[in-house]
Structure 1
Amino acid sequence: MPAKTTAKVNQRSKHSVLIVDDHPVVRQGLAQLINQEKDLEVRGYAEDAFQAMQAIKDVQPDMIIVDISLKDTSGMDLIKDVKIQYPNLPILILSMHDESLYAERALRAGAKGYIMKHEATERVITAIRRVLAGEIYVSDSMAAKMVSKLATGIAPQNASPIECLSDRELEVFRLIGEGHKTRDVAEKLHLSVKTIETYRAHIKEKLGFKDGNELFRFAVEWVNSEMKR
């Protein structure tokens, strides 16, 4: 699907938004929600990183909304690429993935906010407006966890063991849990099979697994639990 733009010359006073998500239903629903607001307008859509970078160039949005999981790469990689080329462009992550695991990573990568897709519509609009205003947005509970961690230097006692993984290791772990074989993961992340095998070895070591079967079972269980959120 080519990147789609919806520019309107007579609505330049509105804040323009670009949506990057590979699910058409999500894009359409989010666009409908945003376009109901008098001061906001969806100016374009993209379903992968390549389309997103092209759409940013064409549309020049005031902000972009990105999902963590995209077809050809991770939203985390897209954040980093956008911040290199467009350092002042605000990014809000809207995702089904647990914010306790991804929010801090997204902010470190350059995003200005993180909100989960199951949140109430008014919270999504609030997040958009705060990010447009130059503020950081996460949920109240996530903000409290981040402040506590910053103040004490200690992760919460109920922290997931997955948090010890690097961003790339977490992406490989998620793809394993989705059922992708090593070669498939390598192709999807544009890396060599040997590199993915190295990541798998690091993940097993960090999580204390004896073999690939244990890793696979745990990854599948984790992905399934994410889907139920």
Structure 2
Amino acid sequence: MRDLKNLDDAALAVLSIALNGYQEHEKTNTYVSRLFLDIVELLVGSIQDLSIWGIRDLLAKENKRRARTVTVRVVSPTDFEGIGKLGKQELLVLRLIGQGQRSEDIVRLLSISYRTLANHKARIAAKLGLGSARDLLKFAIDNLMIL
């Protein structure tokens, strides 16, 4: 198994999602659970000797280790100005996107409709001068510390 220290934050988020998906579908849909397991193995290598809970434990330890690590990133003044233009709800949506929350989760957490979420994303992208959903996701992840 590969060391989780070699994975970036996005890969750790994908690993967590894949573990959740595997466990959610393990007993009900073997095809889907196998797809999630393939993602886990793609990220960490063969897991024959480890249980899913063993990987979860390693993932939790790595997340805890990274939380103690101090990272300094210079914030672009234009990024900071753009964030200042956002309303409370837009800022919250951007923060949740940066944390890796899916649209389904954001809609549920904020008790809003998918259409409202789409409108928030469009307004956020316009205020920040971003062109696509991918740009919005990258911006949210890159600037999560100042959100």
Interval containing the TM-score (normalised by the shorter chain): 0.3 to 0.5
Relative to its length, the structure with more strand (as a share) is 1
Larger RCO (CA under 8 A, 6+ residues apart): 2
Q: TM-score, normalised by structure 2?
A: 0.44
If the length of structure 1 is used for normalisation, what is the TM-score? 0.29
